[in-house]
Amino acid sequence: MHINLLPEEVKSKIASGEVIEGPAECVKELLENSLDAMATRIEVEIIKGGKRFIQVKDNGLGIPSEDIKKAILSGATSKIKDIEDLQSLNTYGFRGEALHAISLVSKLLLRSRFYQEELGKEIRIEGGKIVGERLVGMPVGTHVEVYDLFYNLPVRRSFLKKEDVERRRIYKVVKALALANPSVAFVLRAEGKEILNLKPSNYLIERIEEVFGKRFEHISKEKGVFRIDLFLSLEEGEGYFLFINKRPVYNRELLDFIKRSVGKKRLCLCYLWAPPYMVDVNIHPKKTEMKIQREGKIKELIRESLGERHRYAPTFIKQELKNYMVEPEFIGIIDKTIIVAKYGDYLYFFDQHLLSERYNYEVKGKEVESACKGAIKAGDEIKERLAKDLLRSWLNFENKEVCPHGRPLYYRIYLGDIYKKLQRDY
């Protein structure tokens, strides 16, 4: 048979089907973008199971108005610059394909106000072509509206599931990302009714208990470069969840292993924290499957943590968990020099210059000297956002202790000592 070369437009439409299978994948991509933009509140609205309409509104950093048209191009991303960056990835996105794919197969409205600008910019796209643009007044953040998914690919559209099936898949997607990001408020409205409204919390357990309406016990364990946090329902229930560095993953082998180890009639959430270079998310177009090095070690860790579960008396659990946080809680900045944060059982005092230097060195891969030159100085007034961002990246640093020259990044005080001085129990 003769071979035809498909026009670029047809090729890309077909490819976009790999990223966006249906409304749920679309919601997942939009939520991930909002989370990557450090939103603290995300609202999702869907109509007809997302087939007619999907809206995701966030209060994140926004897109610079001069860049907004770029956002829908293939390979357009602000998250990585080259292949090495995948080694230290701490965002959900990195391919620069999601908005491109959505824009090709829907009528899309993208409206965003960058945090350093006074006005927002809105663009409308149909089947990949920009059909309108204007400036708009809006709060800082991004609103995305997706109308009539696959309107121009009738065959694909006909493969979409029934409305209530799609709605359930969307609910699952929102729930999974909410479970991984307790400090973000999530609202989900379907067909005009609010079906999820989660208040932000610094504690994983509070989010988990709110989502499931059950009490949980928590077991935490560290081994080498890995750390694991296991949450087991104290009441009957069934479901198994796995998160690796905040990414919900569906690794069959590990999930089956968890299921076998925990037994039936329990809800189990397993949060695994590993250095980014040990996990590879790039192997699946939807990024839900991950290649993990040393799977055996992880299983060992899960088994050992489960072995410890009965050491806790359920009534004391809540109290012990209070000190557990997903990420450092930003408290403030002293003298434009020291970032104060609470994390775990300690109050931390970070040197803003050294933290930023370490960031440039590890995350941006700069040489020691240029890492130092490009860093924030002591005395520089920095935005709270930036401080929080640095704190968050600190968690993924390979070396959390010292700057590239060997000076300590922080000084910390055990909270128990503070309580003791104040003659209170900790």
Ligand X SMILES: Nc1ncnc2c1ncn2[C@@H]1O[C@H](COP(=O)(O)OP(=O)(O)OP(=O)(O)O)[C@@H](O)[C@H]1O
Cα gap 309→316, rounded to integer Å: 13
What does 100 bind: ligand X, Mg ion, none (CB cut-off 5 to 8 Å by kind)?
ligand X
Which of the ranges 6-14, 97-105, 128-136, 313-321 carries the binding residues for ligand X, by CB under 6 A?
97-105
**Site map for ligand X, 135-154, x if CB under 6 A?**
-------x------------
Nearer to Mg ion, 98 or 108 (CB): 98
**Site size for Mg ion, by CB under 5 A?**
3
**In the complex, what is the shortest distance from the CB of residue 349 to Mg ion, in angstroms, rounded to a whole number?**
35
Beta-carbon contacts of 28 under 8 Å, excluding residues fewer than 6 positions away, are 173, 177, 286
**Closest separation in Å from C-beta 158 to ligand X:** 26
Residues 156, 17: contact at Cβ < 8 Å?
Answer: yes
DSSP3 helix / strand / coil % (the chain, rounded to 5): 35, 25, 35
The reply on whether position 95 binds ligand X by CB under 6 A is yes
Q: In terms of DSSP bridges, do strands 291-292 and 279-280 run parallel, antiparallel, or are they unpaired?
A: antiparallel
Task: Check binding of 106 to ligand X (CB under 6 A).
Answer: no
For ligand X, the closer of residues 35 and 268 by Cβ is 35
CA distance 238 to 325: 25
Question: Contact with Mg ion (CB under 5 A): which of 16, 33, 88, 106?
Answer: 33
Closest contact distance (angstroms) between CB of 93 and Mg ion is 3
Strand ranges for 263-405 from DSSP E: 267-273, 279-280, 291-292, 329-334, 338-343, 346-351
Residue 166 CA to residue 10 CA, distance in Å, equals 26
Q: In 3D, which of 297, 287, 332 has the Cα closest to residue 225?
A: 297
Residue of 16, 33, 201, 360 that binds ligand X (CB under 6 A): 33
Q: Return the residues of window 85-124 that contact Mg ion according to CB under 5 A.
A: 93, 98
Asked if 94 touches ligand X (CB under 6 A), the answer is yes
Using the structure block, give the residue that is written with the tokens 């300690």: 346
- Phi, psi angles (nearest 5°) of residue 78: -100, 5
94 binds, among ligand X, Mg ion, none (CB under 5 to 8 A by kind): ligand X
Closest to 68 (Cα-Cα) out of 119, 105, 27, 31: 119
Q: Could you tell me whether strands 267-273 and 239-244 are parallel, antiparallel, or unpaired per DSSP bridges? A: parallel
Largest CA distance in the chain: 86
Q: At closest approach, how far in Å is the CB of 32 from Mg ion? A: 5
Minimum distance, C-beta of residue 210 to Mg ion, in the bound complex (Å)? 26
Among 22, 62, 120, 328, indicate the residue that binds ligand X (CB under 6 A).
Answer: 62
Q: Give the nearer residue to ligand X in terms of CB position, either 86 or 415.
A: 86
121, burial (CB in 10 Å: exposed 0-12, middle 13-18, buried 19+): buried
> Which residue's CB is nearer to ligand X, number 50 or number 93?
93
Residue with tokens 């491109």, as numbered in its chain: 100
57 vs 353, beta carbon nearer ligand X: 57
Q: Note the residues at the interface with Mg ion (CB under 5 A).
A: 33, 93, 98
Applying CB under 6 A, the residues found at the interface with ligand X are 29, 33-34, 36-37, 58, 60-63, 71, 76-79, 93-100, 142
